[in-house]
Amino acid sequence: MIDFNVPPYVKESSTFVEEAIKLHKICGDGTFTKKCNEWLEKRFNVQKVLLTTSCTTALDMAMLLCDLQPGDEVILPSYTFSSTATAPVLVRAKLVFVDIDPKTMNIDPEKIKAAITDKTKVIMVMHYAGISCDMDSIMAIAKEYNLKVVEDAAQGVMSTYKGKALGTFGDFGCYSFHETKNYSMGEGGALLINNPAYNERAEILREKGTNRSKFFRGQVDKYTWVDFGDSYLPSELNAAYLYGQLLHADDINNARLECWNYYYKELLPLQEKGLLQLPTVPDGCVHNAHMFYVKCKNLEERTSFISFLKSKQIYCVFHYIPLHSAPAGLKFGRFEGEDKYTTKESERLARLPLYYGLTTKQCDEVVNGIFEFFGIKR
Ligand SMILES: *Cc1c(COP(=O)(O)O)cnc(C)c1O
């Protein structure tokens, strides 16, 4: 049996969690949270990172910090997870969905440009499969129209675009450490703040509306309620679990890449025969092997592809149902322009098993299963 995903685990996580327990201090912002924040800041060259309870709450924080007015518009892809869209809904913004580039499944910069109105305030991008959006074009558009950029980089930890980490291009970047992602703390995430003007407001927002962080740094002599806030601090137990994995970030990344590259090389003959389509990694993108997907001819073929492999106990899964056609998408937003690729491409896509610990032998079994499905001798 080959699972679709097995959450990553390293021994140090157990050691660190035990350490946190022994300190009898497992609330937020302790030693391990600080270690994680600092590791992320240093590794990805970010001026400030705050660990959060999820990528979803990091996105919420980002949208609250963007300070929108009800009715302001946010442009985003429809081919993404609900979290990208619920954040602007939280601040009563209107969602404007646009089409993707079928080569990467990422938001198409040309479609962003065509959807801008005088109400547009923010562009949200999502780096699908850990492969970067066209950030040069997107940042140029944001600059031209004076728009903020929020990156849903849930899948992009350790990926880069032209040498710069995903999540560090926009005003805010959001990472996920959910157990379906490359690095896991069970439930958790991080907010990357790229503009220091937001640091203080972000700390207040994360600490129930108080200036407690300033108090701990000795910058004020008592702490008080200063603004709207919420609580986005993960427990030290989760942070300790994550920290163990961050210390093995390269091992985990390399092991995943090995599987990804194996799939790519071995499945290439099927692409050359026109039987399926493999992912595209554009120039300038270095990815983290978050996901390996193939595209079948259509929905019907994908359905039999997934069930054929399931009959061999190989678990492949499809992915997003476009948000603009979902009940909440219809309620909170509109699709701007033509849905040329979002629906069609989403119906063709199937994801193959890929996780830290998957062996080449198992990848080989998956590849054999796929060749058998297409009736081709390997
Ligand atoms: C996983 C994921 C999220 C949600 O992450 P959580 O940490 O579970 O909140 C958001 N956006 C994308 C694109 C994701 O893949």
Q: Please report, for the domain that includes residue 319, its CATH number.
A: 3.90.1150.10
Site to substitute for ligand 1 among 5, 51, 61, 83, most atoms within 8 A of C-beta:
83
Residues 97 and 218 placed together within one structural domain of the fold: yes
Give the model's confidence band at 331: pLDDT under 50 very low, under 70 low, under 90 confident, else very high.
Answer: very high
Percent of the chain with pLDDT over 70: 100
Task: Return the ligand 1 atom nearest residue 84 CA.
Answer: 11
CA distance 103 to 304: 23
Does residue 255 share a domain with residue 232? no
In a domain? residue 1: no
Alpha helices in the chain (DSSP H): 11-22, 31-44, 55-66, 82-90, 109-115, 135-145, 199-206, 212-216, 236-246, 249-272, 299-311, 327-332, 342-348, 360-373
Contact 187, 176 (CB under 8 A): no
Does residue 6 sit within a domain? no
Contact criterion met (CB below 8 Å) for 357 and 298: no
Given ligand 1 and candidates 178, 187, 293, which is best to mutate, with the most ligand atoms within 8 Å of its CB? 178
The pLDDT confidence band at residue 215, using thresholds 50, 70 and 90, is confident
Tell me whether residue 228 is in a domain.
yes
Find the 300 Cα to ligand 1 centroid distance in Å: 28
Confidence of residue 340 (pLDDT cuts 50, 70, 90): very high
Paired sense of beta strands 73-77 and 94-98, if any: parallel
pLDDT for 110: 98
Count of domains forming the chain: 2
Q: How far does residue 154's CA lie from ligand 1's centre (Å)?
A: 5
DSSP label at residue 310: H
Do both 226 and 353 map to the same domain? no
| Residues 153 and 293 both lie in one domain | no
Which protein residues are within 6 Å of ligand 1, measured from CB?
54-56, 80-81, 83-84, 126, 152, 154-155, 176, 178, 189
- For 134-153, the pLDDT digits (tens) are 999 999 999 999 999 999 99
pLDDT value at residue 222 = 86
Dist. CA 130 → ligand 1 center (Å):
12
Dihedral through CA 281, CA 120, CA 61, CA 125, nearest 10? -10
Å from CA of 83 to ligand 1 middle:
6
Q: Would you say residue 221 has pLDDT above 90?
A: no
Structural domain span for residue 317: 249-373
Domain annotation covers residue 310: yes
191 with 297, same domain: the answer is no
Give nearest CA residue, ligand 1 atom 2.
Answer: 154
- pLDDT recorded at residue 280: 98
Choose which residue among 105, 126, 155 to substitute to test ligand 1 binding: the one with the highest number of ligand atoms within 8 A of its C-beta.
Answer: 155
Residue 74 and residue 222 in one domain? yes
Nearest CA to ligand 1 atom 10: 83
Tokens read off for 154: 């849930």
Token pair recorded at residue 304: 């039999």
Write down the pLDDT at residue 216: 86
- Give Cβ neighbours of residue 83 (< 8 Å, ≥ 6 apart): 54, 55, 56, 59, 152, 154
Confidence of residue 220 (pLDDT cuts 50, 70, 90): confident
Question: Ligand 1, closest atom to CA 188?
Answer: 7
Q: Which of 56, 57, 131, 232 to mutate to test the pocket of ligand 1 (most atoms within 8 A of CB)?
A: 56
Is there a domain that residue 141 lies in? yes
